[in-house]
Structure 1
Amino acid sequence: MRFKIIFPTGYQVADILNDNIDINVVLENGDVFFGTLFTISNLDYLLAISQEPFFYASDLLIVKDLSKKNIRAAIESLVSGSIELAFTKIRSTWSNESGSDSFDTIIDMC
């Protein structure tokens, strides 16, 4: 199934090996899923600075790096498998700022 990736706050990654980013995945059928991608180094960093002895996040997906190429490959694998297990479905129908619900009008940011 075709999909498009949207970064709700833009693609703002300081270090592709030590960062995290929120994404929306829009499927061709209109379903929209939300998730946060983390790198292992970023999880280590967050644990190190935390006052808690643990770290958790819903809709967390660990990736090797946050390059756009790797993000696309990870999401492609999820979409062809079971994205519902990793991310939360947040909408059943996508509409962009202009109110259009056409998949073809969505700008893929990745």
Structure 2
Amino acid sequence: MSSTSGVRNIGIPGVNPPEKTCNDPKCPWHGHLKVRGIILRGVVVKKKMQRAVVVRHEYLHYVPKFMRYEKRRKNIHARLPPCIDVNEGDEVLIGETRPLSKTIAFVVLGVVKRGEGGR
């Protein structure tokens, strides 16, 4: 990872820091927020809050009775640092942090794939 001035190493291999910088204390790259726990992928479905997004995480759940998998999904609120630009429909990587508010315990780490927009 490149050691640009002011960018922290968050300890997750394969995740590169954003090109922009910010002075947000709750940014994992330029602030003091530590990322621990699980790392998830999801699609941004809403971007109407200030510095926060709603990410839809889809996963498979095994049903032992029928010996099959079923699709499940969950909406997760995640903090969006100002140095990361995302739009609705983008696939993002989010990491677990300490609780930042009543509903937010994840932070956006980066964009995996740009989407077409919408749901």
Structure of higher CA gyration radius: 2
Please report the TM-score for the alignment, with normalisation by the length of structure 2.
0.25
Task: Specify which structure has the higher proportion of helix.
Answer: 1
Q: Which has the higher contact order (CA 8 A, sep 6+)?
A: 1
Task: Specify which structure has the higher proportion of strand.
Answer: 2
